[in-house]
Amino acid sequence: MKQLKVILGKRSYPISIGSNIIQKDDIFWPLKPGNQAMLVTNKTLANLLKDKVLYHLRKSGIKIDQVILSDGEQYKTLNEMELIISALLEKKHTRDTTLIALGGGVIGDLTGFAASVYQRGVAFIQIPTTLLAQVDASVGGKTAVNHLLGKNMIGSFWQPASVIIDIDCLKTLPQKELVSGIAEVIKYAIVFDEKFYSWLEENIENILSLDHEIMSYCIKKCCELKSKIISLDERENNFRALLNLGHTYGHAIETHAGYGNWLHGEAISVGIVMAARTSKILGYLKETDFKRIITLLKRTGLPVKGPKNMSAASYIPYMMRDKKVISGEIRLVLPLSIGKSEIYNHVDKNIILTAIKESQ
């Protein structure tokens, strides 16, 4: 088992990465025998992993209740979050309870948001089961639900008490979900680390085949990169926004298409292409780096073109609602080279539209 720490003073927390680590003693830190907890998962995982996790929680002496939600991005709503709150109240959970999120980014976001508002804030533990959640969504304390007009528009910053990453959970993933998660891995490499990008180019087939050592290194590397950024800029006042490479365009696709019709990673992949193309048109990103980005996304099996039924102009209203917008100005994360990105204001809308059109 490998362990990292997100350093945030009194709110620092461990990230544990390994195989079958759910079975280890004291893994559900900070829970102790006799503590009360609520497991939150979805209908799919209820059949695959829930009983195993419940068994080990009970074995650890935890008084555990459960709530099972519907599966999918279209259920990342206030209505679904209210089911968690109702279950907590019905089972008489107090302020010293701990919520446990067993699932991907949707379950993690819903559970974290519920934890942040239940009786003005209770602890929660992340057990991410998808690659996307293991490398990105479970770390950093961003919690949210979607609104019809925009993704992740209702939420809070609420850090978990611990993150438990069991690599064996990835065996339950459909291939499409695994591929989707790799989009976030590629994002980290483009934004922060050219050597890691070269490593991905060499090892992408091994990642896709769930080679244990390769996957373990890959997840640990992403968590290291993210935890370092979180420690420096927890509430995205500055360069944490770099983690949003591709998201301004990608969230527009997800919202327009209807939540769940495009997987998050698929939309982010196209968003990365659009951001890279914007940078290339502006003369920042070299053609060779642009081609390397397209090639790796394609080799992974990710899309590099936006939805055919979505016009370039229809992206703009969604992009104007992006959380990085300040004083009505779209702010974009653009790659300058592989391993280096920056945040730009005042990018000409015609250039943005051209980049979108050329990526359709």
Binding residues for NAD(+): 71-76, 105-109, 129-130, 142, 151, 169-172
Nearest to 66 by CA among 101, 35, 95: 101
243: its two tokens = 């983690």
**Cβ-proximal residues to 48 (8 Å cutoff; 6+ apart), any chain:** 172
Q: Are 112 and 160 in contact (CB under 8 A)?
A: yes
Q: Determine phi and psi for 3, rounding to 5 degrees.
A: -130, 140
**Exposed e or buried b per residue across 297-316, where buried means at least 16 C-beta atoms within 10 angstroms of its C-beta:** beebbbbbebbeebebeebe
340-344 and 332-337 strand pairing? antiparallel
Residues that are catalytic: 120, 142, 184, 226, 236, 240, 244, 247, 251, 264
DSSP states of 202-271 as a string? HHHHHHHTT-HHHHHHHHHHHHHHHHHHHHH-TTSSSGGGGGGTTHHHHHHHHHHH-TTSS-HHHHHHHH
The DSSP element (H or E) to which 131 belongs, if any, is helix 131-132
Binding site residues, as ranges? 71-76, 105-109, 129-130, 142, 151, 169-172, 184, 247, 264
Contacts of 308 (CB under 8 A, 6+ apart): 360
- 65 touches 92 (CB < 8 A): no
Spatial CB neighbours of 144, under 8 Å, sequence gap ≥ 6: 76, 109, 113, 152, 153, 154, 155, 156
Measuring CA to CA, which residue among 150, 334, 326 is closest to residue 245? Answer: 334
Token code pair at residue 59: 């074995």
Could you tell me how many residues make up the chain? 360
3-state secondary structure of 93: coil
